Amino acid sequence: MFKAPKWYTVLQYTVMIIVALFMFFPIYWIFVNSLKTLTGISSAPSFFPSDPQWENYKTVLSDPSTLLYLRNTLILCVANTAGTLLSSSLVAYPLSRMRFRGRGVVFAIIIATMMVPTATLIIPQYLLFRAFGMLDSFWPLILPSFFAQPYNVFLFRQFFVSIPESIDEAAMLDGCNRWQAFWRVIVPLGKPIFITVGIMSASFWWNELFSPLVFINSDELKPLTVGALTSFQLAGGGNQTNWPLQMAFSMLMILPPAILYICCSKYITDGIKTSGMKD
Amino acid sequence: MASVAVSKPRRAGNPKRHSDAAAAWGFLSPWIIGFLVFSGFPILFSFYLSLTKWNLLGEPQFVGLKNYRDLLSGDSELGRTLVVTLIFTVINVGVSILSSLILALLLNQNVRFKGLFQFFYYVPTIMPSVVMAGCMTLMFNSQLGVVNYVLRAIGVDNPPNWTGSTTLVWVVVAYASVFTFATGQQMLVFSAALKDVPTELYEAASLDGAGAWKKFIHVTIPGIAPMMLFNVVSCTVNSFNGAFTLLYPLTGGGPGDATKVLGLLIYDKAFKSFNMGQACALAVVLFLIVAVIGAVQFKLMDRK
């Protein structure tokens, strides 16, 4: 576009490298400290692990409660992602291409409820699930996903609008009904948005703390996020944390989303591009 | 561009399909149930409970607007929390929009190792907030933290107790929040938008004698405006919803109430002191604030 002067190029790379250092440092620091010993961590911080304690990872991974938390998180991720993909895409379909009275109103309500904060809904939902006798179980955490969330409906709809209507009309001329057209045409063509929303949902539940704190009491139903708050406290030391183990645990919590990102980065960018608020 | 968020459905009118309405409502049924049970009813019920006194035992007692009056009077816990919530949101939205835009602009030029830089900028976004909180606690610890170690090494004799100070704690919060759940994601959105600004527009601007800055103001900014609004809206929503997940493990609202955002206060009122009436009044206030912000943002979108 324009020929950059040399000082500009130098400045550009300097800024980019400094920002990268600042942004990536926490992850590096978690990694370095996950390899230290408890005594090593309280002396002067070293930036490179001199005597890496890989057994910290073994200790964390062989802790039965870590495995239990991991299992619970995986259940939440899988169930909520399945529920979200199914229900939100179904709801988005008629909004993207079917004519019916009231569509404008439905879409307006969906847009309006997109922003309702979780904290506003949590108390009545708590009372609702209490009335159902579902507290301290996975139901309050999983069930709402199966009934479509506005934001995901919106993302699906934006993508579906970009699929030419003539394609599923052709399918219906061949004898498909709407339901079959959805499954045979829209779902296969919508792969990028299914992957994008799926990744978003799984990462959300990998990260979610608020609702498990409210709905779950039993230790054996806690997900990793809640476990991270209480695990690895030193016995008898008040609020002393066993930092090397805590950091190894943290590292294990970073890895799955990082791997997911590396494998799917192409889809994530595509999904953002196509669903990102365009016609 | 009204179509940014609410693009009008295409008029491909096909009159022979009368059965569509029934089918459409069938497809919509999960949302209808979900809306009624999990958000419509809860919002109304919250509003009702906000007019009562109730500690989860027995029946709620109707007290009228007392909860709201209590929130507004006295030491004004609400006022303080609103200010804190506002600061958190402004830092989060402002800093992350600015930094992600700058990063996207830098990466949009011919950069070597672009993928690598993108990786370094994006990966912090995927860090669970709990993990970020733990890491920050370790890094900013006044004794064994690396930040103060470096400060001492460069000659600062009395490095601060970051999380113990009502003002400095915001440095820690800003560092954690901007990098965890905003910058990387928004940078990707901006990068995608920048690629779509037609190059002919830049060429035309060059012919008119525009310099780099003029091109940025008159071509780039209008070209990415829709995505900018998308980022602002989604970052605002994320700030309201993500605040709890980050701040509960990071500061617990402290020191004192310095970082107690509305979400934390609602949680405390409802599930620690079981004061459901007041908690619901706060929930209603939060709902109204977000509704106003949302209405303004969508209005702005529609005008474009």
Q: Which of A52, A73, A89 is the last residue of a domain?
A: A52
Is residue A84 in a domain?
yes
Is residue A242 in a domain?
yes
Angle at A14 between CA A9 and CA A18, to 5 degrees: 155
Contact A207 B129 (CB under 8 A): yes
A61-117 tens-digit pLDDT: 998 999 999 999 999 999 999 999 999 999 999 999 888 899 999 998 998 888 888
Report chain A's C-alpha Rg in angstroms. Answer: 24
pLDDT at A200: 87
**Does A6 share its domain with A98?**
no
**Does A140 share its domain with A211?**
yes
A204, pLDDT greater than 80: yes
pLDDT at B70: 85
Residues of B in contact with A153 (CB under 8 A): 31
Note down pLDDT in tens along chain B; length 304 residues.
333 444 444 444 454 455 688 899 999 999 999 999 998 998 899 999 999 999 888 888 899 898 888 888 766 788 889 899 999 999 989 988 998 999 999 988 888 898 889 888 888 888 899 999 999 999 998 888 899 999 999 988 889 999 899 999 999 999 998 877 667 888 888 888 888 888 888 889 888 888 888 888 889 988 888 888 878 888 888 888 888 999 999 999 889 889 999 999 999 999 998 999 999 999 998 888 888 887 887 777 665 5
Number of Cβ pairs < 8 A linking chain A and chain B = 294
Single-letter code of the amino acid located at B78: L
**Does A189 share its domain with A83?**
yes
Nearest CB among B7, B24, B241 relative to A94 is that of: B24
Domain total in chain A: 2
Please choose, from the candidates B120, B106, B245, B221, the residue with its C-alpha nearest in 3D space to the C-alpha of residue B173: B245
Residues 28-47 of B with CB under 8 A from A: 28, 30-31, 33-35, 37-39, 41-43, 45-46
pLDDT at A3: 62
pLDDT at A196: 87
pLDDT at B37: 93
**Does A145 share its domain with A14?**
no
Token pair 């419509």 is found at B40
pLDDT at A38: 81
Nearest CB among A29, A110, A165 relative to B139 is that of: A29
A32-66 tens-digit pLDDT: 999 988 877 777 778 887 788 899 999 999 989 99
For residue A100, count CB atoms less than 10 angstroms from its CB and return exposed for 0-12, middle for 13-18, buried for 19 or more.
middle
Q: Do the Cβ atoms of A250 and B135 come closer than 8 Å?
A: yes
Is residue A57 in a domain?
no
Is residue A58 in a domain?
no
**Does A38 share its domain with A70?**
no
Mean pLDDT on A115-137: 91
Task: Show the tokens assigned to A175.
Answer: 């004898």
Residues of B in contact with A210 (CB under 8 A): 244-245, 248, 263, 267
**Does A135 share its domain with A216?**
yes
Please give, rounded to a whole number of angstroms, the shortest distance from the CA of A269 to a CA of chain B.
7
**Does A142 share its domain with A267?**
yes
**Does A173 share its domain with A231?**
yes
What is the SS3 assignment for chain B? Answer: CCHHHHCCCCCCCCCCCCCHHHHHHHHHHHHHHHHHHHHHHHHHHHHHHCCEECCCCCCCEECCCHHHHHHHCCCCHHHHHHHHHHHHHHHHHHHHHHHHHHHHHHHHCCCCCHHHHHHHHHHHHHCCHHHHHHHHHHHCCCCCCHHHHHHHHCCCCCCCCHHHCCCCHHHHHHHHHHHHHCHHHHHHHHHHHHHCCCHHHHHHHHHCCCCHHHHHHHHHHHHHHHHHHHHHHHHHHHHHHHHHHHHHHHCCCCCCCCCCCHHHHHHHHHHCCCCHHHHHHHHHHHHHHHHHHHHHHHHHHHHC
Mean pLDDT estimate for chain A: 88
**Does A18 share its domain with A95?**
no
Nearest CB among B212, B227, B240 relative to A117 is that of: B240
**Does A107 share its domain with A171?**
yes
Contact B42 A112 (CB under 8 A): no
A2, pLDDT greater than 80: no
Domain that holds residue A46: 1-52
A148 against A114, higher pLDDT: A148
Residues of B in contact with A147 (CB under 8 A): 30-31, 33-35, 37-38
Contact A20 B291 (CB under 8 A): no
pLDDT at A271: 62
Is residue A171 in a domain?
yes
A145, pLDDT greater than 90: yes
Per-residue CA distances from A101 to B20, B30, B32, B287, B296 (Å): 10, 18, 15, 29, 27
CATH number for position A72 = 1.10.3720.10
pLDDT at A86: 97
Rounded to 10 deg, the angle between the B129-139 and A243-275 helix axes is 130
Residues of A in contact with B286 (CB under 8 A): 117, 119-120
pLDDT at A235: 56
Cβ atoms < 10 Å from Cβ of A2: 11
A120, pLDDT greater than 60: yes
**Does A31 share its domain with A72?**
no
Residues of B in contact with A22 (CB under 8 A): 179
pLDDT at B171: 93
Please give, rounded to a whole number of angstroms, the shortest distance from the CA of B4 to a CA of chain A.
5
**Does A28 share its domain with A126?**
no
Give the predicted TM-score (pTM) of the model: 0.87
